[in-house]
Chain A
Amino acid sequence: DQQVKQNSPSLSVQEGRISILNCDYTNSMFDYFLWYKKYPAEGPTFLISISSIKDKNEDGRFTVFLNKSAKHLSLHIVPSQPGDSAVYFCAARVTGGGNKLTFGTGTQLKVEL
Chain B
Amino acid sequence: DTGVSQDPRHKITKRGQNVTFRCDPISEHNRLYWYRQTLGQGPEFLTYFQNEAQLEKSRLLSDRFSAERPKGSFSTLEIQRTEQGDSAMYLCASSLQTGGFNEQYFGPGTRLTVT
Question: Any chain B CB within 8 A of the CB of A101?
Answer: yes
Residue of B nearest to A31 (CB): B101
Question: Any chain B CB within 8 A of the CB of A25?
Answer: no
* C-alpha spacing A103/B41, complex, angstroms: 9
Give the total of B residues in contact with A, Cβ under 8 Å. Answer: 26
Residue of B nearest to A46 (CB): B103
A-B residue pair count with CB separations less than 8 angstroms: 58
Please determine whether A100 and B106 come into contact, CB atoms closer than 8 angstroms: no
Question: Any chain A CB within 8 A of the CB of B33?
Answer: yes
Question: Any chain A CB within 8 A of the CB of B107?
Answer: yes
Question: Any chain B CB within 8 A of the CB of A62?
Answer: no
Flag A34-51 by CB within 8 Å of B: 1 or 0 each. Answer: 101000011111100101
Question: Any chain B CB within 8 A of the CB of A32?
Answer: yes
Chain A residues engaging chain B, CB cutoff 8 angstroms: 4, 32, 34, 36, 41-46, 49, 51, 89, 91, 93, 98-106
